[in-house]
Amino acid sequence: MTATNGNGTAAQFITVGAGDDARRIAVSLQRPAAGNTLAHFVWLGGYRSDMTGTKAVELAALAARLGTGCVRFDYSGHGASGGAFTDGTISRWLEESLAVIDHAASELGTRRVVLVGSSMGGWIALRAVAELARRSGTEVTGLVLIAPAPDFTSELIEPNLTEAERTALLERGRFEEPAPYGPEPNIYTLKLIEDGRKNRVLTGVIETGCPVHILQGMADPDVPYAHAVRLMEHLSGDDVVLTMIRDGDHRLSRPQDIAKILEAAEVFARGA
């Protein structure tokens, strides 16, 4: 069975988890050209986004121009993947991300990757690079973090909860708020918030073992640019670049924003 991704090609499915916890994850693999030695891209999307979004599709187009590979996928409860969105946690989506990275390495024949994470995907990218460092075989040549939202559950949601939202979390295990980017409300669950505390990265020095480029809009209403500055302060490496886009919003999907994102991704793919 197949799903259709943003560039019209068929997505395959892999199974992550076992038994009642098993979920089908939709994956789009774009294979590199013969003999291409550039690192391939892995797209890590944001909360409630999927692999058909503008930035993900543009990243795939860059990979095609460079002749390298590109991996896009939908977290469980997102897009074409199975599973309930309300079962989602950072740990669960991290597990799926690592499974996709491993699957792609065997399918594409290379374990050199550039992780490109948007919003929540930036948090997952930081957790993934730490997990990958604990095992041999995968080389992350760079992280491109777009309006990254590490620790957003504990840093951006919990401190701003209303009494009604706190009550809803305790009594119903979830609360909802209007979504700025679509008709369906954003849903935040108690399990997501509790699991987020276990996955915090802004608690000490973050060692990525690779160069990092953060791109952040200063007009971002969802993730304040001070959050990106704080993240940079936690990154230990010297090779960390923070690009502030004065009029950029959270999506950073305008042509001029995407050009900056793709430039950073290409540099890391080439290992320059």
Helices 190-198 and 163-172, axial angle in degrees (round to 10): 100
Q: Can you give the pTM of this predicted structure?
A: 0.95
Does the residue 161 lie in any domain? no
**Residue 69 included in any domain:** yes
What CATH number has the domain bearing residue 56? 3.40.50.1820
Q: Is residue 180 part of a domain?
A: no
pLDDT of residue 8: 41
Within-domain flag for 266? yes
Tell me the backbone φ, ψ of residue 121, rounded to 5 degrees: -60, -25
Burial string for 141-154 (b: 16+ CB within 10 Å, else e) reads bbbbbbbbbbbbbb
- Domain contains 182: no
What dihedral do alpha carbons 98, 259, 149, 224 form, nearest 10°? 180
User: Quick one: which of 152, 8, 139 has its CA closest to 72?
Assistant: 8
List the pLDDT tens digit at each of the 272 positions of the chain: 444 454 445 689 999 999 999 999 999 999 999 999 999 999 999 999 999 999 999 999 999 999 999 999 999 999 999 999 999 999 999 999 999 999 999 999 888 999 999 999 999 999 999 999 998 789 999 999 999 999 999 999 999 999 999 999 999 999 999 877 777 889 999 999 999 999 999 999 999 999 999 999 999 999 999 999 999 999 987 799 999 999 999 999 999 999 999 999 999 999 86
| 166: in domain | no
Which sign does the torsion angle of CA 8, 9, 10, 11 carry? Answer: negative
Domain region containing 263: 3-150+204-270
Determine the pLDDT at residue 183. 75
User: Into how many domains does the chain fold?
Assistant: 1
Rounded to whole angstroms, the Cα distance separating 94 from 88 reads 10
Residues 200/154, Cβ–Cβ less than 8 Å? yes
Distance separating the N- and C-terminal Cα atoms of the chain: 39
In this structure, is residue 176 part of a structural domain? Answer: no
Q: Report the pLDDT value the prediction gives residue 178, as an integer from 0 to 100.
A: 86
Query: What is the pLDDT, as a whole number, of residue 237?
Result: 79
111, part of any domain: yes
